[in-house]
Structure 1
């Protein structure tokens, strides 16, 4: 699924996204922002900000920049910022998460909620998030990860060929995001049903080769 397919999928979803997906993803979104609010550092990047459902949840002292590939979704996020008077939202920018325009070490925290399954190359997304977050900062992901067996495993793989229509990869696995799951300091299924999982990865400096 390439960038244009993502834009087209979310052009279709923009008008109904909050009603269809907002309630389903609400617990995972709240869990992610709670984690962000507890972490040190004020400069927060939300990757795949969408319609801005998470923006009112950030603590006032967090300075939030949101990016998204979908202009239609961003327009709704901008409206939310105006209506809710969210003064801690420093910017909403149309940008490719796999090739960000930000300088290295621009943020203390980067969080991607329900985004890793959408981008064409999740590992490239991960590398870009590492680049724009300072050493010692934090990367957080909330995402659906594929089951390893059972009825859900079968359903996810049956839906996989429809990823261009759905706008996400139903069979997405943690290994599609991280080279090694041991990079994660926290892997925590989100209540109430564990459909989504919070993954926290400290942005540790790589040892010189």
Structure 2
């Protein structure tokens, strides 16, 4: 089988995960979710939760925010819709079935784009990150929290060995921080904020701040980092 993920593999995997996702991963991922959401709340405003899944994080956003959730898995989104209705989450503007690499939002639509335990499992990570940057307003942030693969050593060797077997689960255990750094440099509209370890190093929170990209004299591009 392929060593990468395609859309059908991801959809099939998360259709299987949907009924049990909260039970299996709820408590395990809680420290990462808390840290990512605390950072999001420092900015506030209109929030895109990419990979919203079953909507497990939705009740924990302040009601002063407006939240739009996106996912590639219809069974996961159905769980999120049920949660929104049951818990009367009126700060949730909508839940959308979308491919992250081709989102239907206008440029600069959101103050924050948050992706919790998802960027390493989407079919096209770099294209998805390009889209998250596109829909973000200058000064806003992309906030990722994820397990990231080791750069070297025994764990790195194991993750490379496990990668092919993990594809049926919809995972990329070998996905490294370097891939995110390389994307930011290539994209050119964001700057990476120093990554932080979460839960004793089990996960990493990675932030990208959207730059104010303006055209300077002579047609060159001038990147201006915004305060904060």
TM-score when normalising by structure 1: 0.93
Work out whether residues 175 and 181 of structure 1, in 8 Å CA contact, stay in contact via their aligned partners in 2: no
Q: Which residue of 2 aligns with 1:5?
A: 9
TM-superposition CA deviations, 1:113-148 (whole Å, max 9, x none): 111111122111111001001122111111111112
- Quote how far apart the aligned CAs of 1:181 are: 6.6
Do residues 113 (structure 1) and 121 (structure 2) align? no
- Aligned partner of residue 140 in structure 2, secondary structure: strand
Evaluate the alpha carbon distance shift between residue 178 and residue 125 of structure 1 in structure 2; reply closer, same or farther with a 3 A threshold: farther
**Conservation of the 8 A alpha-carbon contact between 2:68 and 2:93:** yes
> Equivalents in 2 of 1:55, 1:197: separation in Å?
21
SS in 1 for 2:76: helix
Cα separation, partners in 2 of 1:178 and 1:148, compared to 1, 3 Å: closer
> Which residue of 149, 152, 173 corresponds with 1:149?
152
1:35 to 26, 34, 39: 39
Report the alpha carbon displacement of residue 158 of structure 1 after superposing the two structures with TM.
1.5
Q: C-alpha deviations, 1:43-87, integer Å up to 9, x for none?
A: 100000001111111111110000000000000011111122111
Q: For the pair shown, which has the larger CA radius of gyration, 1 or 2? A: 2
Equivalent residue, structure 2, for 1:79: 82
Bigger mean CA offset, 135-144 vs 60-69: 135-144
Structure 2 alignment gaps of length 5 or more: 186-190, 221-228
Is residue 198 from structure 1 mapped to residue 198 from structure 2 by the alignment? no
Equivalent residues in 2 for 1:10-159 (5 A)?
10-39=14-43, 41-159=44-162
Tell whether the 8 Å contact from 1:188 to 1:197 is kept in structure 2 after alignment.
yes
Structure 1 stretches of 4+ moved >6 Å: none
Matched residues in 1 for 2:205 and 2:103: separation? 23
1:201 & 1:99 partners in 2: Cα distance? 20
| TM-score in terms of structure 2 length | 0.86
In the TM superposition, residue 207 of structure 1 has moved relative to its aligned partner by 5.1
Aligned length: 207
